[in-house]
């Protein structure tokens, strides 16, 4: 499993908040949810992306924006439109004066907005949890990525748009997987740009000596790799391999392997049924004690403390988002819905 494939596995790819948004102008939404990662695709119409420290960027139908990091930002039909709705942590939706408008804005199964049809239609996926494997990849990205329709050759946006409004058994898992696939496609497209600055290990994947060694370590972290064995697999001397690996990746082979193993362990430890012993075997440590010692040395906390903190964060997120998810799934409209956007935001 390499860094991109890592997005398909583990807690970082589960329970994402996915929504279809239907909007008629004027509209402006301030995003203060502090989610680590979000993906927004324009299906119809347009939007302006406005970050506090950047010039506004206009997106048209087929364009996608990926937002990395927990900074606040906003989307609007026009940069001059005043904020009307604020999205808080846990995807809690209020007017600017704090009135909760979750049910008033519901437009059907996983659909939300101020219109039944929408001059502008968006698909938004928000990752509520950030895994360690994900963090290793995303820290190499700018805070705002915009990919244009002509750069993307994928049916995933259309497929996601069809599936998001379905209310079928297992649909949450289907949507999580589709969102993951779309994100991987977007990141791969971004990193393949000539002007992009991918992480060193990503660029090194194409090297005939270092690339195969990286894939061996990433796909088989449980194996007791040594520099000598990796060099032998690559068909070069130990010294030549170590030097080439360090030059291209930016750290020695065993340092990279340790970091990769601990990142995987950090994510696997958050699995409900995982034990320290099973995780240790999966990432190449002979005993739970060996993993615990390495984990604390690298992270400064024990695996047990890491797991407890992760569980507390996940529980808090689930508690706050439950009401939002339930209200957008049901699709019932209240009589007051038509006035919620206009009267309370004026």
* Residue 210 and residue 176 share a domain: no
* CATH code: domain of residue 291: 1.10.10.60
Residue 336: what pLDDT? 36
Q: Which of 198, 233, 267 is the last residue of a domain?
A: 198
**Is the residue at 160 inside a domain?**
yes
Which of 90-99, 119-128, 315-324 shows the lowest mean pLDDT across its residues? 315-324
pLDDT band per the 50, 70, 90 thresholds, residue 147: very high
* Residue 160 and residue 210 share a domain: no
Residue 188: what pLDDT? 86
What's the mean pLDDT in 158-168?
Answer: 90
* Residue 17 and residue 106 share a domain: yes
Phi, psi of 208 (to 5 degrees): -65, -20
* Residue 167 and residue 84 share a domain: yes
What's the mean pLDDT in 178-182?
Answer: 88
Contact 78, 23 (CB under 8 A): no
pLDDT band per the 50, 70, 90 thresholds, residue 314: low
Task: List the strands of the sheet with 92-95, edge to edge.
Answer: 57-60, 46-51, 73-76, 28-31, 85-88, 92-95
Helix or strand holding residue 18 (H, E)? strand 17-23
* Residue 194 and residue 204 share a domain: no
Query: What is the rounded end-to-end Cα distance, in angstroms, of the chain?
Result: 51
Per-residue pLDDT tens for 255-309? Answer: 999 999 999 999 899 888 899 999 999 999 999 999 999 999 999 999 999 988 8
Pick 206 or 277 by higher pLDDT: 277
* CATH code: domain of residue 61: 2.60.120.280
331 Rama sector, left if φ>0, alpha if ψ -120 to 50, beta otherwise:
left
- Pairing type for strands 17-23 and 111-113 reads parallel
Tokens of 77: 């039909």
Say yes or no to pLDDT of 168 above 60: yes
Residue 5: what pLDDT? 58
* Residue 223 and residue 184 share a domain: no
Give, in order, the Cα–Cα distances in Å from 190 to each of 65, 116, 196, 258. 11, 34, 7, 27
- Pairing type for strands 120-127 and 17-23 reads antiparallel
Residue 176: count of CB within 10 angstroms of its CB: 18
How high is the mean pLDDT of the chain?
84
Residue 174: what pLDDT? 87
* Residue 264 and residue 252 share a domain: yes
- Percent with pLDDT over 90 in the chain: 49
* Residue 107 and residue 174 share a domain: yes
Phi, psi of 57 (to 5 degrees): -125, 130
- Percent with pLDDT over 70 in the chain: 84
pLDDT band per the 50, 70, 90 thresholds, residue 10: very low
- In which domain, by residue range, is 46 found? 5-198
Contact 286, 261 (CB under 8 A): no
**Is the residue at 314 inside a domain?**
no
**Is the residue at 175 inside a domain?**
yes
């Amino acid at each position: 499993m390499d860094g991109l494939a890592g997005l398909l596995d583990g807690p970082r790819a589960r329970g994402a908040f996915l929504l279809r948004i239907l909007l008629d102008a004027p509209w402006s939404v301030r995003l203060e949810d502090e989610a680590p990662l979000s993906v927004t695709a324009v299906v119809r119409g347009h939007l302006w992306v406005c970050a506090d420290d950047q010039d506004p960027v206009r997106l048209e139908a087929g364009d996608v924006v990926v937002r990395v990091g927990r900074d606040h930002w906003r989307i609007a039909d026009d940069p001059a439109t005043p904020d009307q709705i604020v999205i808080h942590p846990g995807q809690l939706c209020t007017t600017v004066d704090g009135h909760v408008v979750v049910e008033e804005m519901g437009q059907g199964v996983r659909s939300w907005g101020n219109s039944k049809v929408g001059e502008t239609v968006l698909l938004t996926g928000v990752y509520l949890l950030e895994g360690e494997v994900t963090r290793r990849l995303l820290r190499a990205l700018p805070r705002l990525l915009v990919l244009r329709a002509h750069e993307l050759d994928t049916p995933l946006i259309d497929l996601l748009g069809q599936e998001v409004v379905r209310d079928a058994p297992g649909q949450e898992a289907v949507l999580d997987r589709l969102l993951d696939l779309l994100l991987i496609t977007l990141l791969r497209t971004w990193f393949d740009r000539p002007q992009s600055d991918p992480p060193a290990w990503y660029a090194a994947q194409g090297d005939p000596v270092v690339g195969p060694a990286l894939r061996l370590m990433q796909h088989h972290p449980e194996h007791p790799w040594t520099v000598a064995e990796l060099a032998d697999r690559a068909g070069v001397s130990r010294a030549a391999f170590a030097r080439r690996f360090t030059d291209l990746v930016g750290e020695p082979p065993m340092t990279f392997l340790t970091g990769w193993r601990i990142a995987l362990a950090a994510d696997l430890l958050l699995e409900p049924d995982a034990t320290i012993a099973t995780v240790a075997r999966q990432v190449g440590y002979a005993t739970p004690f060996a993993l615990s010692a390495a984990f604390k040395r690298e992270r400064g906390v024990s695996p047990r403390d890491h797991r407890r903190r992760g569980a507390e964060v996940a529980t808090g997120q689930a508690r706050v988002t439950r009401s939002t998810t339930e209200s957008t799934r049901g699709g019932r409209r209240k009589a007051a819905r038509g006035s919620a956007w206009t009267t309370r935001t004026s």
